[in-house]
Amino acid sequence: MAFELAPLAGARVDAVRVHAERLVTLELRGAGGEATLLLSAEPDLTRIHAASWRPPPAPEPLAFQGLLRRELAGARLSAIEASAGDRVVRLRFERAAGPLSLVAELTGRHGNLLLVDGEGVIRALAGRNLSQRRVLAQGQPYEPPAAREGEGGELRFTPVPGATFPLSAAIEAHYRRLEEERALGEARRRLRDPLRAAVARSRRALERLADEAARVPAAEGDRRAADLLKQNLHSVRRGASQVEITEWTAEGPRQVTLALDPAFSPHANMERFYRRYRRISESAARVEARVAEVRKRLAETEILLVELERAPEEALARLAREARRLGAAPRPRRAPRRKDDEPALPYRTFRSVSGLPILVGRGAAENDQLTVRVARGNDLWLHARGRPGAHVVLRLQKGLAPDQESLLDAVHLAAHFSDARGEAAPEVVYTRVKHVRKVKGSAPGAVTYSQERALALRVEPARVERLLSGEGEEA
């Protein structure tokens, strides 16, 4: 892999992103064009390769990202070196402040990424040191792992013919599948946990309802006691705590002892028995209806759980809607709280299925800020034709066209955040930002554009739901 990536030497670092604790991408620009270099020391996902797809951003910015951006942005990649006998790659950088190295220890569960200065001293680590044999800490000399015998052998991956980086393409495809499986497993888990909790709640509710239903036969005893008191009120002494009454049955007479409240009159005690009987007997119908309702919901929830275990990604949005209808949807993820003194961005951020940022203006004035000040000339600009709505910007690298899925994602957002929302086939226009003009003195959000193309959209609700659920990802 180091041999395949060697032509990247000499490229300049345009951007640095830390997507997870030990997952970094570097945007490189050189004489041979642009490339994205991915380094991952994440457990079971350790690798290095040129990437055609950028992983989604971290939920919250990581400290390692700020440090790498400060130290590496604008630096020149001078060499990519693989350590003999171990899975360690060193990326050497030249910059005005002096040389630096980004060392990727791709050693499975103990992997890590380390920034090392020209003197060999560790400047920072992506994650805490998991090695028990070496002291790896900020300010300490970097000690590489001991070389091991027997490393190397046959390639694990078959290079993809015709790709710019053939081995990278094979590795990326393998780990994309693995990460998609993990993401699908995590998405299933987020649905599974509240569904299981809903099943447990329904079963507890049925137990409580069963207890209430068990009280119904006892209510018949209250009615019989009230009838006996009614027939013998004249013989019950006021203030008595109990009374013995003869009950005539088909088998003959028998003596019945009734407990009374001495604070009440005999008539009030009789009414108390009748009221308790009516309350329990009247609730019996409600209990029966409630039991049927809970059993129905329990059955539907258990069916959803079974379906979830084998559901593909495209079915999860529908299952989430079903879970929400049953009161078992996962809690929405909260966006990071903005500091009081931090101004709100003029746009909302989303990310396409292939990882491209999509920016959506928050209002008329914010549309102007997004289109005129934030968007770059090569970005794609979208708007619902002839309808008030948000300006939408699909971020693109210079000279690149959007992939079909990213374009469809952006078109759906342009339709959703406009007065065309709810229409079966809204029309959306799109063009490059460099072809959009703000006329001086025009109303907020009003622009002119040229070289546009139009798309009559067939709305996919599942796509819209996926996009909206990912709002707030870093652009």
Q: 418: burial class by Cβ within 10 Å (0-12, 13-18, 19+)?
A: buried
**Lowest-confidence range among 7-11, 209-213, 457-461?**
209-213
What does the domain layout of the chain look like in residue ranges?
A: 2-145, 185-325, 347-469
Q: How confident is the model over 10-60, as pLDDT tens digits? A: 999 999 999 999 999 999 999 878 999 999 999 889 999 999 988 888 878
Q: Flag whether pLDDT at 154 surpasses 80.
A: no
Is residue 235 very low, low, confident or very high in pLDDT (cuts 50, 70, 90)? Answer: confident
Q: What is the pLDDT of residue 473?
A: 46
Q: In the predicted model, is pLDDT for residue 475 greater than 60? A: no
Amino acid code (one letter) for 101? S
Spatial separation of the C-alpha atoms in residues 322 and 55, rounded to whole Å = 29
Share of the chain above pLDDT 70, in %: 93
CATH of 185-325, picked from 1.20.120, 1.10.287, 1.10.3210, 1.10.150, is 1.10.287
Residue 130 has pLDDT above 70, yes or no: yes
**pLDDT tens digit string along 185-221?**
988 998 999 999 999 989 998 888 887 777 767 677 7
pLDDT at 474: 44
The band of 337, judged by pLDDT with boundaries at 50, 70 and 90, is low
Model-wide pTM > 0.85: no
What's the pLDDT at 149? Answer: 59
Rg (CA), the chain: 35
| Contact between 223 and 277 (Cβ < 8 Å) | yes
Task: Tell me the pLDDT band of 371, cut-offs 50, 70 and 90.
Answer: very high
CA–CA separation, 273 and 226 (whole Å): 5
Average pLDDT of every residue of the chain: 87
Mean pLDDT of 160-173: 94
Q: The tokens of 426 are what?
A: 């809204």
Residues 6+ apart with CB under 8 A from 447: 368, 371, 391, 436, 437, 438, 439
Angle between helices 461-469 and 313-325 (to 10 degrees): 80
- Mean pLDDT lowest among 170-174, 203-207, 247-251, 404-408: 247-251
**464 vs 79, which has greater pLDDT?**
79
Class of domain 2-145: mainly beta
Q: Which pLDDT score, from 0 to 100, does residue 431 have?
A: 96
